[in-house]
Amino acid sequence: MSALDTDRMVADLRRLVECESPSADLTAVAHSAEVVADVGSRLLGADPEAIVLDGRTHLRWRFGDGPGVLLLGHHDTVWPLGSLERHPWRFDGDRIEGPGCFDMKAGLVQLFHAVAAGGWVAAGAPVTVLVTGDEELGAPSSRTLIEDEACRARAALVLEGSADGGALKTARKGVAMYVLTAHGRAAHAGLEPWNGVNAAVELAAQVLALIGLDRGPDGATVTPGVMAAGTTTNTVPATGTVTIDCRVPSMAEFERVNAGLRALTPHLNGAQLTLDGGLRHPPMEPEFSAALYRMATAVCRDLGLPEPASARVGGASDGNLTAGAGTPTLDGLGAVGGNPHAPGEHVLASTMEPRARMLSGLVARILAAS
């Protein structure tokens, strides 16, 4: 494996961070893709295929033939244009700050440098690098692309930021989203409120039922979100809605929650309920990562690196999609840092080189086992 240069990695990260790429801005995402492509092409020795879907730019480098390793990341961020003015790039000792540095532009830099150092591309090994431009939106345009690439691969390695302390993400909850609508009947609130059916009251009763489906941190979480009802103060609300965010650790828990939501019944005479939505990201259950996690810890032992811990997390990533496609998946292989999506988002520069070495060694081990 070739030597890795932390200073060069930091310089590449600065270039990516200072190219803002909010998911909702198609022009910004397209420009970011050009910058990512330039950095990647320099290190990988080949230009990517630019894949534009629904106006969003994704990049793919495909090397070798046959089923191999899929390296997966994204270049879009949650930070709106102008965030750099309030949260500029800063490198102070070991701490790097800047919008999107942890989620997940440092992961992309580590990916490119790891592949360049590994030398498998020149040897014709089957490795695919996929960098999408809409992960922060839930992969609306890239979902099928990710799933198709996962089905071609023996393993998927996701360069999202690590869990606390550099832990690898060996399980992720799946995400289901719903909108529950209560239908009532309007009436004048002063003259004849008794002739109405108050959708706001019905909705309030349903929210308590939703909480009853929640199983806490280790089970499915069911979180009522945005609520709205009524049109004017002096009118009994005829309709009301609540959004529902569900995070499920297993498909069995999803089936339980989904059945519970669809079994909800009205509390008020004359009220009706409708439910829209369902599963968006399947859970990444632990069995999909177990063998890869064991490989990663063995690689770290061989390299003299600390063995990373494992973590189960509630947030979803593109790793949910690769696991949902049936492909062994290990996530959280990217940066060590913290505060994603918030002021103070940061990366520890001293961890970038060893994380890239770990990734390079893990890919080599997967390829050797094929």
Tally of domains within the chain = 2
Query: Do 221 and 147 reside in the same domain of the chain?
Result: no
Question: Per-residue pLDDT tens for 55-70?
Answer: 999 999 999 998 999 9
pLDDT averaged over every residue in the chain = 96
How much is the pLDDT for 1? 53
Query: Do 12 and 131 reside in the same domain of the chain?
Result: yes
CATH number of the domain residue 217 falls in? 3.30.70.360
How much is the pLDDT for 75? 98
With respect to residue 40, please indicate whether it lies within any of the assigned structural domains: yes
Query: Do 79 and 23 reside in the same domain of the chain?
Result: yes
With respect to residue 198, please indicate whether it lies within any of the assigned structural domains: yes
How much is the pLDDT for 66? 86
Query: Do 162 and 266 reside in the same domain of the chain?
Result: no
Query: Do 268 and 327 reside in the same domain of the chain?
Result: no
Residue where a domain stops, chosen among 232, 253, 281 = 281
Query: Do 46 and 126 reside in the same domain of the chain?
Result: yes
Residue 117 three-state SS: helix
Question: Per-residue pLDDT tens for 159-183?
Answer: 999 999 999 999 999 999 999 999 9
Q: How many CA atoms lie within 13 A of 39 on its CB side?
A: 26
Residue 120 binned pLDDT confidence (cut-offs 50, 70, 90): confident
CATH number of the domain residue 108 falls in? 3.40.630.10
Residue 121 binned pLDDT confidence (cut-offs 50, 70, 90): confident
With respect to residue 1, please indicate whether it lies within any of the assigned structural domains: no
Range 280-308 average pLDDT: 97
Query: Do 219 and 297 reside in the same domain of the chain?
Result: no
Query: Do 143 and 90 reside in the same domain of the chain?
Result: yes
Query: Do 162 and 243 reside in the same domain of the chain?
Result: no
Has residue 2 got a pLDDT over 70?
no
Look up residue 87 and give its two tokens. 């949260």
Residues with catalytic roles = 76, 135
With respect to residue 269, please indicate whether it lies within any of the assigned structural domains: yes
The span from the first CA to the last CA of the chain, in angstroms, equals 19
Question: Per-residue pLDDT tens for 321-365?
Answer: 999 999 999 999 999 999 999 999 999 999 999 999 999 999 999
Burial class (CB in 10 A: 0-12, 13-18, 19+), 153: buried
Query: Do 156 and 53 reside in the same domain of the chain?
Result: yes
What range does the domain containing 311 cover?
6-172+283-369
Global pTM reads 0.92
Q: In the chain, where do the E strands start and end? A: 49-53, 56-63, 69-74, 90-92, 95-97, 127-132, 155-158, 168-172, 174-183, 221-229, 239-248, 272-281, 310-313, 329-330, 337-338, 346-348
Question: Per-residue pLDDT tens for 45-100?
Answer: 999 999 999 999 999 999 999 899 999 999 999 999 999 999 999 999 899 999 99
Question: Per-residue pLDDT tens for 201-214?
Answer: 999 999 999 999 99
Query: Do 253 and 193 reside in the same domain of the chain?
Result: yes
With respect to residue 53, please indicate whether it lies within any of the assigned structural domains: yes
Residue where a domain stops, chosen among 253, 281, 309 = 281
Residue where a domain stops, chosen among 227, 254, 281 = 281
Query: Do 62 and 205 reside in the same domain of the chain?
Result: no
Has residue 26 got a pLDDT over 80?
yes
